[in-house]
Amino acid sequence: MSLPERAVDSQFPAANSADSAERDTATSSAEQKDNPSKFLKNTLLSNILASTFSIFESHSDSSSSCQKKATKCRSYGWTTIVKNFVGGGSMRRLHDRLLGSGRADALSLTSEIWLLGRCYRVSEESPDGTDSGTGFSAFLEDFSSRIWITYRKGFSAIGDSKYTSDVNWGCMIRSSQMIVAQALLFHYLGRSWRKPLQKPYNPEYIEIVHLFGDSEDCAFSIHNLIQAGKSYGLAAGSWLGPYAMCRTWETLVRPNRERTGCDQEKESMPMAIYVVSGDEDGERGGAPVVCVDVASRLCSDFSKGKSDWTPILLLVPLVLGLEKVNSRYIPLLRETFTFPQSLGILGGKPGASTYIVGIQDDRALYLDPHEVQLAVSVERDNLEADTSSYHCSTVRHLPLDQIDSSLAIGFYCRDKDDFDDFCSHASELGEKANGAPLFTVAQFLQSPKPIYHHDPFTDSAGGANDNSGPESFSCGTHTGDDEWQIL
């Protein structure tokens, strides 16, 4: 099966990179089909060898000048290679590529993978060697069809700043763009949609990609997000957390919807946004509550009273510990990927946001926004546009217990029945939480409780959301007297 391939090896430049990229593209499909495990290992090994060979090639140009002192030159050359690789950028890039892992663990061929509500059994192949539809090739096709948004350079300056790139600071924004882009894919094209191999592309797909272009003319661009997030401290060159990012999307979509006319319908968000959290300035700890009453009101407001229910995007920002995720929440986070409404997790390692789209055993599978690419313009009427830079077939993973404790979970509900099904799954998950749920569900809105401030000298330390009290059945947040944290 020929899958959309894109080499993500720009961190490993080589003199023959063009040739190697062509060879990789020509052989990748066959390797995936014949041996999934071999394909995963070969992908990583080829990247490492490409980096190593590039060092050899650069050194060979100067080797002729050392022929008279061959022994000394070879000794010096090997010393330089090892020193540069271990102590220089190549080893750091390799370390980053493995996300802190000391070894290149391939995906298990026996454990199932959950990818945004879909289950894949990578060892499940039919007797004739073809994919059964839930095997490894089907997983890769699904994974590579997700919209991948990364650092870009060369776009127009953001606002009054001089920033024409978001390298080293825009990963949280890019990750949030990805989670919203998947919601739009599910809304317009359905969960079963896969990126076609042939052009022209679907108009809805091109429209979605266009919305996330890097200019003020694109509704959900980094330029417009920064403008919308000013009140939450978002500015070009700065970094912010998941809670503020969720609120930024809420702010961006609201004025877009209010000014939408018949000729601008495509510019608006086709769904309501519900940030399941408390007051605008932050959130005291405890499990936030999904209020059916609030969701219904948001849908009614979104449709301007024309409908009782509309599609809705739920964003649930959480803090699940201090320096790392409390281990009691790991099984619950894993379970959210089995929800049919799952949009994954906006999170990653501390200071390095990623978009987590799947889970296998104790490993989180993610799309990495830290790849630097040139800004491109995808016009909405160009159905043959090159969108290869918006997709990635390289599956990266990291231990689930190493992700940042500050994160946000996303869900997309198409209609009221879908929302009711989500609430049913969430309630079942809460029953498994042993008094410490990620979030709960309630029907009606309760009058807000007074907020008091945290005194670090008198309050005892504890993981945020670490509740042991009984669940509340009204909307608000579960707050222990000594366990809460500002998002």
Q: Which residues are catalytic?
A: 171, 368, 370
Q: d(Cα 342, Cα 142) in Å, to the nearest integer? A: 14
**261: its two tokens:** 């006319």
8 A C-beta contact, residue 173 and residue 242: no
SS3 for 382?
coil
Q: d(Cα 319, Cα 345) in Å, to the nearest integer? A: 13
- Residues 6 or more apart from 243 whose CB is under 8 A from it? 277, 282, 283, 317, 406, 408, 487
Q: d(Cα 449, Cα 340) in Å, to the nearest integer? A: 33
Residue 79 region, left (φ>0) first, then alpha (ψ -120 to 50), else beta?
alpha
Q: What are phi and psi of 70, to 5 degrees?
A: -60, -45
8 A C-beta contact, residue 201 and residue 383: yes
Torsion sign (Cα): 145, 150, 152, 156 = positive
Exposure on the CB side of residue 147, measured as CA atoms within 13 A: 28
Nearest to 302 by CA among 413, 425, 439, 148: 413
Find out whether the peptide bond into 456 is cis, omega within 30 degrees of 0. no
- Residues 6 or more apart from 366 whose CB is under 8 A from it? 348, 354, 355, 356, 357, 358, 396, 397, 398
Full 3-state SS string of 126-169: CCCCCECCCCHHHHHHHHHHCCCCCEEECCCCCCCCCCCECCCC
Q: d(Cα 361, Cα 463) in Å, to the nearest integer? A: 24
